Every structure is written in C-alpha cells, then in structure tokens.
Structure 1
Amino acid sequence: MTLLLGPPSSGKSTLIRALTGKLDKHLKVTFKSPYLEKCCYYIAYALLLQLSSVTIQVSGNITYCGHKFSEFCPERTSAYVSQYYLHNAEMTVRETLNFSRRCLGIGGRYDMLAEISRRECDAGIKPDPEIDAFMKATAMQGPETNIITDVALKVLALDTCADIIIGDEIIRGISGGQMRSVTTGEMLTGPARALLMDEMSTGLDSASTFRIINFLRQLVHLMISLLQPPPETYNLFDDIVLLSEGYIVYHGPRENILEFFEASGFRCPERKEVADFLEEVTSKNDQQQYWYLNEEPYQHVSVPEFAERSKSFHIGQQMLEELHIPFEKTKTHPAALTTIRNAVSNWELLKVVMSGEKLLMKRNSFLYIFKVIQLIIIALVTMTVFLKTKMPHGQISDGTKFLGTLTFNLLTIMMNGRAELYLTIKRLPVFYKQRDYSFFPAWNFGLANIKVPISLVEATVWVVITYFGMGFAPGAGRYPKSMNQIHTFYIDV
C-alpha cells in the first residue's frame, strides 16, 4: 500500500491519472518562465490554460511488469477512483453497485478459483466450507444480485442506505460522504486488483476512512492520495510518495521518511501528526518551524534540493539499483494483466444497459405519463380548431390549410420530445465516466437510449385523436399511386 501525499496543486491527481493511462496521449504543455520549465508535466497540465510561450511535448513510458500500455488493457488491470462522484440520481445505492458489477464482469476470478482448487487438491487441503462457498459466489457472472455487492455495501457502511436513491442537486438522496463511498464501491465490485484512488477520504470521518482502507489492504494493491490522514490511517501504509511542486521529494518505506528529513535538518515535533509535517516541511512559509539544528543558522531548502537529496539517500539509492534491473516479462503470471477491454460479451452488456435504461424510465414514469396526458389535451384542442366540418374541400387553394395542419402536427410531436433532451444532457457526465472506465462501449448506450417506443406511442395517440377529426383522407386511395400522378397534380396547380 502506497500513500501519496502533497500539498494542493502538487500533481497528485495527474500522476494517478497517468498511472492508469487516462491522460491525453497528445498532451502539449506551455510555459511562461524558465523556472517552470524544470517542473514535471503534470504541474504544467494544471496550469495549462494560464501559461503560454515555450511548448514541451510530454514523453516517456509507463510499464506494468515490464509491459507497456499498448500490450494490455490498463483500464481493466487497474481501477481509477476519481475524487468526483458522478452517478445516476434516480438509481439506489444497491442498483448502482449491481450495475457496475454486471458491466465490469468477474474478470479472472473463475480462473483463479480453478487454480486454487487444483493446488488444494494437490496439497490435500480441505477448504473451509464457508470460505469455499464465498469464493464460488464471487465467481458467478450474470445475476442481478451478488454477494460481492453485499460485501461492498457492508464494508463501506452503505448497508443502511442501500435502498435509498443517490439523488443530486434537485432530488434528495444520500449524503456527500456516502456518495464518495459509492464511487469507491463501484470499482470494488470489479475484477481489478490494483486501485489508484484520488482523495477517497473526502467527506468521510476518520473512523470510516480507517475501516475502508484497512479492508482494502486485504484485497488489492493500493495507491491512495489523502489530505491530512489521521495517524491510525497513516500507519496502515507501507510506502510513502511525497510530491511537491511537481517533484518527487521522497519515495520509499514509511519508517524511513522522518529519518530522511532529519538528515536535512528538519524534525517532526512530538505532538505534530506526521502527515501534516510532511505536507508543511516543503513549504517556504512553514519550513523554518521544523528546523532543529540550533547550532547552525537556518537555511531554506527548496523542493528541487530535497528531490536531489532523496536520490543520494540510502533508500533512494537502493530504489535506483532495483530500477536499473529490467523486469523480465516471462515472470509475469497470465492473470496479472488483462488484455481484453470488455470482459462481458456485447450482447450481455447490451442487456445490462437496456435493463438500466428500463429502470430509469420506470423511475421517471411520471414525466412520460404527464407528456401523454398533455399531448391528449393539446390534440383535443387542435381538433376543435381544425374540425372536419369546418375544413373546406374540393379546391386546390384549400390545400394550404391542410398543409398548415400537417406542419402544426409535426411541430407538436417534435416539441413534445424536447423533455428527453434535458434528461440526455444530464446523463452525459455519467456516460462519459462509465465509457472511460470500460463499463460498456458507446454504441451500447446509444442503442439502448433510443426512445423509439415512447415516440411511437406519442405519435399514435396524436394521430388517433386528430387524423379523422380534422378531415384527412380516410383511405389510401386518395393519395397518388405513382410519380406520374404527382407530376399531373403539380401541372394542374
């Protein structure tokens, strides 16, 4: 478990996004001052809209077990948990987690279970019945409810609000901290075993943060960025990555980080939390209070100097020696990296997305019923205006009234469907998030989101009420049967 620390705007979020392959591959960064040219690309990315003049192209590779991003699917191998929560407001907490679980699939759980069973048989081990039943239940794909969802709800303390809708600015639902837990639970229900979480403790109390991280460390490899973690949560981590101004100030075991700063002349007071000390010791305004070498005058140590000292520190030298030895790809287990973007078949994903659309339409049923009733009232009023007994017949000039009526009918049907425009735009952020997290391909959402049945019902209701009441042709024989008749009609006109 790795804790990513650093003051605001130090590049924590962009670093995590880079490790999960979510940064723009064609990112270009611009700078104003020569000093900023020394900063890492993720600092410049945060200031991209405000800087201009010199252009630097981002370059470099990130590898997992010696494999580049192009050789596997990083979105399936690792899961990125954003600091922003985007969910469908009309769905409950349980329905949201079940939807993500069905979209993400079980991954390699079934193969892992088969491998464990084979090794247990070879070693003559009889598994515990309850653990064996739990492992088999987690490897089941397809049902709408699963034990994985129940475990995630219990661990994240969401079981008390499992059947409450999430809500948004308009619809009242769960609290902000619970929404943050739902964002984490969406990724926990998937098969990824490397989680990169961006400030997951926002909105949570210290006890909930400790409980969640203590549970996650039993399941997955973690890299989490936290702001001011409590001491008991800080002690759960194995490694610390300290960022400041785009530089890696320290990267190594948690037990040696205070030793590194003491070697530079800074000591953490006894009553000061270590996490707060680490975020302040690199600041120019707060650094002097931690200087403990009274016999020597205080000298400000800049962030680049800390970064250079970390390379000469014994932990940094040990890490550099390890990185100089390339990782052999042959040592990678086949289940360590996922090469398939969508673990579930396209047909199954389409059924899952359509079931979600059906659920959302059911929750918004009042809107559709109101639209139909409104359409019926407008149709009755329109029919009385263009009543059959008042519509003239027999003259070509009277056709303009029928053409006007047809135009009004068409515009009414089109305007009645504008309510869907708001719902679609409102759901776009959630769709972009689910698409980027490989929940489903974009065409699945587009195909399932087509409201053709609703449009057909609205058109049928309008035509049944207005067509014969306005005096349109009762049979198809009144219409031209060929292009010649159409040409003759226009010549007569």
Structure 2
Amino acid sequence: MPAVDEGIELTPKGQQPLLNFVPSTVRFQNICYNVDGKDILTNVSGRFKHGRLVALMGPSGAGKSSLLNVLAGVGMVGLSGEVTINGEPVEENDPRSVYVEQDCPLLSYLTVRGTMTYAVDMKMSRRTSRKEKRNKIKEILSLLGLDTCARTLVKNISGGEQKRLSVAVELITNPAVMLLDEPTSGLDSASSMQLVSHLKSLAMGGRTIVCTIHQPASSLFQLFDDVFLLVKGRCLYSGPVEGMIETLEEGGFRCPEYYNPADFAIEVLLDADVEAKEAMIAKTSAEMRELFEAGPSSPSLQRGDGMVRRYQVPFWYQFLVLLKRSAISSTKDEFYFRIRFGFYIAI
C-alpha cells in the first residue's frame, strides 16, 4: 500500500507523484428535493470525511442516485439545502469532485493507454509537456492495477477492468472527492472485490469516496469504512460500518447470527415497523443537528495547487482531439469503416 502524506499519494520508492490533492470533507445539510409534488429527499444531512470509503445504501426509490447528484453539484429544479466541501459551497462542475456514472461509454477500439491519452489531452493544459502527461498516465494505471493491460484494446479487457478504467479517466483531474453510482453493477464477486479494493486504496490515500451499492456480499461490505442508509428519502443511519448493527439493534431490529450485515440493513429499511424506523430517523437527524451546530471538525482548507482545473483546454482543441480519436477508432473497426466508406462513395 502506498504511503500517505497530507493527501499526497507517494509511490513505493517515496518520490512525490503528480497525484497531489487537498483532503476534503463533504458536508450537506437539510437537503430537500421535490419532483411534481413528490418528496425524493427530505431534510437529509450528513458528513463524509476524507480518507473514508462510504457505502450509500437503500432500497429502490430511496433517493440514493438523487443524493449523489446533489453532492456532485448537478443542478436540479426543486432542490434546497446546502452542500460544502471543506466549508466552501459546491459549484456545478466543481473541480474538487468527480461523478463516475454507472455506464461510462468507452471506445472499444482504443487501447487502455490510448483511452487515457485522449482523456489527458482533453482535460490537461496544452502547456503540459508530453512527458508529464505520459508520467501521469503511467502513475494512474499503476495505481488502479491497469498497467498490465495498458496495450490491450478496451473491448478485450474484463468488465472490472473497464470499470477501473472509467475511474482512471476521472483521476486525471486530481479530485479529492469521488462519487460513484453503482460501480459494481454487472460485475461478478471477484471483479467487484478487486474494484472496491482499489477504491479502498484511493480512500486510504486521503480521498473521500462515496459509492451507491446494492446489497454487497459480506466480505465486500467490510471493505467500506462508513455506511449511509436511506429510506424513502430520509437518513436512518450514518456512521461506521462496525457500529451499524449495534445501532439497528438498539432501534429494535435484531440481526441473526452469521447474517450478512448489508442484507440485514436492507431488510430493516423494508421492514413494516414504521414507528421504530421513524424513531431511528429522528435520532439520526438530532445527531446531525448537534454535529453541524458544533461547527466544522477541522479548519477550512483551500483548493490544492495540484488540482487540474476543468475546461482549461480550449473548445477548438478539444474538438480536434475528439475528431482524431473518432477517426482512429473508426478505422480500427474494419466493418464500420467499410460501411462508412461505401456510403460516402455512393453519395
């Protein structure tokens, strides 16, 4: 595991790499979201600390993806409340955080390294030397265990490797906060374990990583540091994974011996005992109010110099990069290229 120093991930040899960032804590207070008169989120508050891997869990329709959108600064009509990173309000397309969606399109006829090369050209300044860009790509691929398949076409790597490649692309901007929507969706247990293990390593490096996840296996669930349970747009529990079962049992829900804690949590959220759950929601809300009234647990930090600002590459240059990428991808897809070539000849 790489050493960590003030949010700067160090390589095994101890040299400082390019992936430096400011450790960041996400705080959100009284988040309400309403669509056509239906409450999606109701007075949701919480805090996600740096260096922690957080599981955002709940049954279907609980508001998990909506909360993730709020934390990502995605503008939504009918939204109220406050979201801050290190005491500063979250902005739309905030460079301190990235949102990795469930289905991130990757061009199948590019190699892993080629995908990263074009992503770096799109996101990093043209003043950055080619050597610096190559070093950054090498470092990120090594960090996520993708260096062994760097020359492999995307279409020939596994689903788990494709998910990690999606994460790798977002690491280019050096985000302190990473938000992932169902990163293990469609993966087998081994691939899920490998992906979450890499996310755990990133969190141990000082990042704040929040994932929505659907009923993980017990061994996978234990990799998470904290869990945030949502039920019908409200928070029932927020805290360490190891304290979840005890808190649920204090609320009147007893977990059977040797039972998967994640499965038990979902069963509690779906339980018909509304009164017991309402009491737990009220208790959690009161704890959050006390937390926010006490003020921030650490002084406000400024944005890091190591962070890559978004949209620092001119539009015309991004257009040329995309045009080149599209041309190379289409020529490598022989069947697609022949169809297009024949179409243009016919015209």
Q: Which residue of 1 aligns with 2:98?
A: 79
Q: Which residue of 1 aligns with 2:74?
A: 22
Q: Distance in 2 between matches of 1:73 and 1:64?
A: 13
Code of the residue aligned with 2:288 in structure 1: it is: M
Aligned-residue CA RMSD (Å): 3.5
Instruction: Report if aligned partners of 2:72, 2:92 keep a CA contact under 8 Å in 1.
Output: no
Question: Out of 116, 122, 135, which is 1:147 matched to?
Answer: 135
Partner deviation per Cα, 1:401-432 (whole Å, 9 max, x = no partner): xxxxxxxxxxx6xxx3xxxxxxxxxxxxxxxx
Q: Distance in 2 between matches of 1:351 and 1:329?
A: 44
Cα distance in 1, alignment partners of residues 143 and 321 from structure 2: 25
TM-aligned CA deviation for residue 157 of structure 1: 4.0
Work out the CA distance in 1 between the residues paired with 2:122 and 2:242.
40
1:68-217 residue pairs with structure 2 within 5 A?
68-69=89-90, 72-105=91-124, 141-143=129-131, 146-167=134-155, 173-202=156-185, 203-204=187-188, 205=190, 206-217=192-203
Q: Which of structures 1 and 2 has the larger relative contact order (alpha carbons within 8 angstroms, sep 6+)?
A: 2
The whole-number CA distance in structure 1 between the counterparts of 2:99 and 2:213 is 14
Q: Kindly tell me: are residues 274 and 362 of structure 1, through their superposed partners in 2, closer, same or farther at Cα, counting changes over 3 Å?
A: same
Does residue 258 (structure 1) correspond to residue 245 (structure 2)? The answer is yes
Gaps of 5+ in 1: 27-56, 107-138, 168-172, 285-299, 377-411, 417-493
**1:215 partner letter:** S
Distance 1:336 1:230 in 2: 39
**Structure 2 length as normaliser, TM-score?**
0.70
User: 1:319 pairs with 268, 288, 313, which one?
Assistant: 288
Cα deviation for residue 366 of structure 1 reads 7.0
Residues 147-189 of structure 1: CA deviation (Å, up to 9, x unaligned)? 333344344443444333334xxxxx43433322222222123
2:248 aligned with 1:245: no
Partners of 1:102 and 1:142 within 8 A in 2? no
2:302 aligned residue (321, 327, 333)? 333
Tell me the secondary structure at the aligned position of residue 230 of structure 2: strand
Equivalent residue for 1:457?
Answer: none
* Residue type of the alignment partner of 1:19: L
Alpha carbons of structure 1 residues 104 and 308: separation in structure 2 relative to 1, 3 Å = farther
Query: For structure 2, which runs of at least 5 residues remain unmatched after alignment?
Result: 1-51
Matched, 1:268 2:268: no
* Counterpart for residue 83 of structure 2: 62
Using the alignment, how far apart are the partners of 1:322 and 1:58 within structure 2? Answer: 23
Larger strand share, 1 or 2: 2
Please give the secondary structure, in 2, of the residue aligned with 1:277.
Answer: helix
- 2-side partners of 1:374 and 1:362: how far apart? 15
Q: Could you tell me how far apart the structure 2 residues matched to 1:309 and 1:328 are?
A: 24
In structure 1, what is the equivalent of residue 34 of structure 2? none
> Aligned equivalents of 2:305 and 2:238: distance in 1?
24
Cα distance in structure 1, aligned partners of 2:60 and 2:304: 36
Conserved 8 A contact 1:90-1:360: yes
**1:217 and 1:307, CA in 2 relative to 1: closer, same or farther beyond 3 A?**
farther
- 1:77-122 CA-to-partner distances (Å, cap 9, x unmatched) read 111111113122322222112222332228xxxxxxxxxxxxxxxx
Map Cα deviations across residues 426-453 of structure 1 (whole Å, 9 max, x no partner): xxxxxxxxxxxxxxxxxxxxxxxxxxxx
Structure 1 residue 190, shift from structure 2 partner: 2.6
Question: How far is the alpha carbon of 1:15 from its aligned partner?
Answer: 1.2
Question: Would you say the 8 A contact 1:105–1:344 is kept in 2?
Answer: yes
Residue 216 of structure 2 is aligned to residue 234 of structure 1: no
Aligned-partner residue type, residue 349 of structure 1: Q
Q: What letter matches 2:229 in structure 1?
A: L
**Structure 2 SS opposite 1:80:** strand
Corresponding letter in the other structure for 2:100: V
Name the CA distance, whole Å, in 1 between partners of 2:322 and 2:83: 33
Q: Distance in 2 between matches of 1:199 and 1:329?
A: 30
Change (3 A) 1:207 1:351: same
Q: Which has the higher helix share?
A: 1
1:91 to 1:269, Cα distance in 2 relative to 1, 3 A: same
Q: 1:356 aligns with which of 325, 335, 343?
A: 325
Number of paired residues?
290
Based on CA coordinates, which of the two structures has the bigger radius of gyration? Answer: 1
For each residue in 1:286-332, what CA deviation from the matched residue of structure 2 results, as whole angstroms up to 9, or x when unmatched? xxxxxxxxxxxxxx522x7524424326xx54432121255599833
Deviations 1:8-28 (A, max 9, x none): 3322122111210224x33xx
Q: Name the structure 2 match of 1:4.
A: 56
- Identity among equivalent positions (%) equals 25
- Structure 1 distance, partners of 2:221, 2:339, is 54
Pairwise CA distance, 1:215: 1.7
Using the TM superposition, give the Cα deviation of residue 370 of structure 1 relative to its aligned residue in structure 2, in angstroms. Answer: 6.9
